Structure 1
Amino acid sequence: MLSLHLSIPPTVHRLSFPLRWKIKPKFWNDDAQRARETRQFEKHGELNTFLKNLSNEVADVHRKLINDKIPVTHDD
């Protein structure tokens, strides 16, 4: 089983946060960083929607920090 993590570049030091999802490697599309759409893994839609929403939220926060000229550090 693969444990999924949220990694946040492009900071100087990569930030990584564990997610509470695990997936068998055969159901993971490494290039797309999403679950493969297959009937064998019925929760692929739920997982992919979760990942898309999380990615959008992170991008929104990152954009707001940049616009407000607030540096992102490990101390935050």
Structure 2
Amino acid sequence: MGGRSVWRFADWVLQVDTSGSGPIFEAECTTCGESSGAADSKDEPEVWSLRHAGRFGHTGFRAMTTSFFRATRAESGGVRR
């Protein structure tokens, strides 16, 4: 006797997750790979980049922003949370 499979399909919605911390900002030197470290504000990595440029003459930086998302199942008539 064979098994029976049931398939259920659902729509999903991806939203920015505001339940935890906000975005995380970081800068990385594209010359030497040194990093500013993670910060809650973009100001800290920007200041670090300017100081690093002044100290070492390196002028290229990679700006990284990490945001968090959460997937939730959509219901008819609105999004379920």
Structure with bigger strand share is 2
Pick the structure with greater CA Rg.
2
Greater RCO, 1 or 2 (C-alpha within 8 Å, sep 6+): 2
TM-score (norm 1): 0.27
TM-score (norm 2): 0.26
Structure with bigger helix share is 1
